[in-house]
Chain A
Amino acid sequence: MDTTFSQAAWLIPLFPLAAFLLLLAFGRSSRMIGVLLGSVSSLAGFVLSLLVLIEHMTKGQHDYQYAVKWIDTGSIVFKAGFEVTNLTALMLVVVTAVSFLVNVYSAGYMKGDERISVFYSYVALFTFSMLGLVLADNMLTLYVFWELVGVCSFLLVGFWFSKPEARAAAKKAFIVTRIGDAGLLLGILLLYWYMPDHALDFVRIGNAFEGGTGVIAASVTTWIAILIFIGAVGKSGQFPLHVWLPDAMEGPTPISALIHAATMVAAGVYLVARTFDIFQASQTAMDIVAYIGGFTAIFAATIGVAQNDIKRILAYSTVSQLGYMMMALGLNSMTGGIFHLFTHAFFKALLFLGAGSVIHAVHTQNIQEMGGLGSKMKITAWTFGIGALALSGIPPFSGFWSKDMILNIAYHEKPALFVIGVVAAFFTAFYMARLFFLVFMGKPKGERHAHESPPSMTGPLIVLAVLAVVAGFVQTPWNDTLGNWLTDGAEQENGGGGLVMVISAAIGLLGLYMGWLVFVKGMISRDFVSSRAPWLVRLLERKYYIDELYEAAIVRPLRALGGLLNGIDDYVVDGLVRAAGGAAFLIGRGGTRMQNGQVQTYGLITAFALVILIAAVALRRFW
């Protein structure tokens, strides 16, 4: 058994790390150095990842794990290491591929920015962290990288920190995901407490929970799974912690593509897939995952219909698609979740980069101010269209196959979730149609001289468009390649999904057709809903008032509590300190006043002091 490349997999994250360090040291010297180092390092990582993947595909199932001693506390030894499984190999390729394309794309998109080297160093740091997260062989190492990607996300969302919205969004992203991280940490602690030998590596976790018989009590298992899932909810923008993801669109668009669409937000899904044995051991946890996922899918899709910011629409669509992935995992289909993650990474990165290209050309993000860009930006329009079709689930584009697979599983397992999934798919297709037609069709508005973006931006678009078309063919109802490979034949496609396939394709087409009717033909008035039910439109525009609810229920009381505590600190604690200082100061000043050089004053004070002393000694007798 040959594992040459797998053994060298630990090198993959080191390329971007090296790029980060070099940029930190020499980034100021030249504007091009960032582009060069970022692209080269991610390309190197991509090549190596691809070799690892090919090795895993051709030579069958052989996980490679290697760990070194990290922290030795005497009784307990924590290890740090890496593990290459089929899932890991796949994720490595996805992350490095998107990272490389985004690096190339950013060369055009961020060209005018003064801090382009800083930008590239952050991206490199992010890529390093994400790859570390993917390769981590135990929960503790994973958690370290998990927090690192969170920091990178914070840095990049707040990259244009002179904008107050960007600052607020960065803080929001960080704080909201922290809530999930706290859950994950508790989950890890619980796992550590109950695991035999306090082992935290995935191999032994898998063994302990295999088949659900469990060394660990069922209730504890459920709790561990739920806590880990809370971590995933925070990172993957699932309801109710989804609020940070749309706001995170304040960051530069390539970042939205890389972090907030293709890779980091998928980390939650990856985490659940990585610890899938725990989830499989607890049906309750699985149901929670499935229903939260399903609810998020339809919830975010409906919001997407009423938004006007091109990136926010895509952000809500990301939230919604992540919901699909969670739903698939909750329905006991790791293949479905990972497959959708895989295809989604490509077409959503494509859509975001396309949106970036549009924003680059017209300098606005409001789709109501765009129009008729299709004729001016042919490449962007075509590739964006492919991405939109993939997202809408139109055959034969990649999104169709993965979404169809999830719907098919839902159809067999939980029909209620199947209905939710189909409705969400309709909304998805509808808002993508709305987005596409408003931006690329119709009459031009506002910016007259929009033009196509430079080749460094259109190149990645074309590559991603190709991937968005073909990526779905790794797993079709007739062809179980991915599922067999990923789960070692444990999961079989339910098969016979002909009906579901027809429904899923039809619903996507129906959504697009409705969008076409409304926004191109005008057969249905655009005010059809808003004139009849303005409250509904407002509800969707305000995102179900979730932000307002959190503001009133959580942020305000916390602020008030913070203010109160701050007051206590200022007036009580600081007051005591100031009183102590003030007393010493007053005594000192009294002392200086007494020291006036007059012998008689000194004598008087001495005499008084003596009297007091004698009085004190005399009075003590009577006590």
Chain B
Amino acid sequence: MLSSYLTMAAILFCIGLYGALTKRNAVIVLLSIELMLNAVNLNLVAFSKYGVVPSLTGQMFTLFSIAVAAAEAAVGIAVLIALYRARGTVNVDDYDEMRR
């Protein structure tokens, strides 16, 4: 049972990673990151139920993580809006200030 959850989480993570690395639209990149986060959450839950030492800690941690992720997404969107106002674009290729 555990392995099917883990496989599911791995597929989700990879999709998220692919999106985060390839998409041009900053909003979609942000969404992909959420996807990766959720893959991790899924792992935590799966281990808390089917792990070697099952306990509730994993589920508690997941809830905590979801709450933090919500805050993070809010901040991320806010930053994106600020960036869009400043630069007039949401294309991540144009966000290359780190080179300069």
Q: Enumerate chain A interface residues (CB-CB to B < 8 A).
A: 595-600, 603-604, 607
Contacts and interface: CB of A to CB of B under 8 A. Distances in A.
Given A597-B95, A600-B22, A600-B92, 12 more contacts: A595-B99, A596-B96, A597-B97, A597-B99, A597-B100, A598-B93, A598-B96, A599-B92, A599-B95, A603-B20, A603-B21, A607-B17
Interface residues of B, number: 13
B2 to A, nearest CB: 19
Contact of A600 (B20, B97, B100): B20
Contacts of B99: 595-597
B69 to A, nearest CB: 18
Interface of B: 17, 20-22, 29, 92-93, 95-100
Contact of B92 (A596, A598, A604): A598
Contacts of B96: 596-598
A116 B98 CA distance: 69
Contacts, number: 25
A596 B95 CA distance: 11
B99 to A, nearest CB: 3
B98 A600 contact: no
B59 to A, nearest CB: 27
Nearest to A603: B21
12 contacts: A595-B99, A596-B96, A597-B96, A597-B97, A597-B98, A597-B100, A598-B96, A599-B92, A600-B22, A600-B29, A604-B21, A607-B21
A599 B98 contact: yes
Contacts of A597: 95-100
Contacts of B29: 600
- Please list the 9 inter-chain residue pairs (A to B) with the smallest Cβ-Cβ separation, ordered nearest first: A597-B99, A597-B96, A597-B98, A604-B21, A600-B21, A603-B21, A596-B99, A598-B96, A600-B92
Contacts of B20: 600, 603
Contacts of A600: 20-22, 29, 92
Contacts of A595: 99
A465 B99 CA distance: 90
A34 B70 CA distance: 97
A597 B92 CA distance: 10
Nearest to A601: B21
Nearest to B26: A599
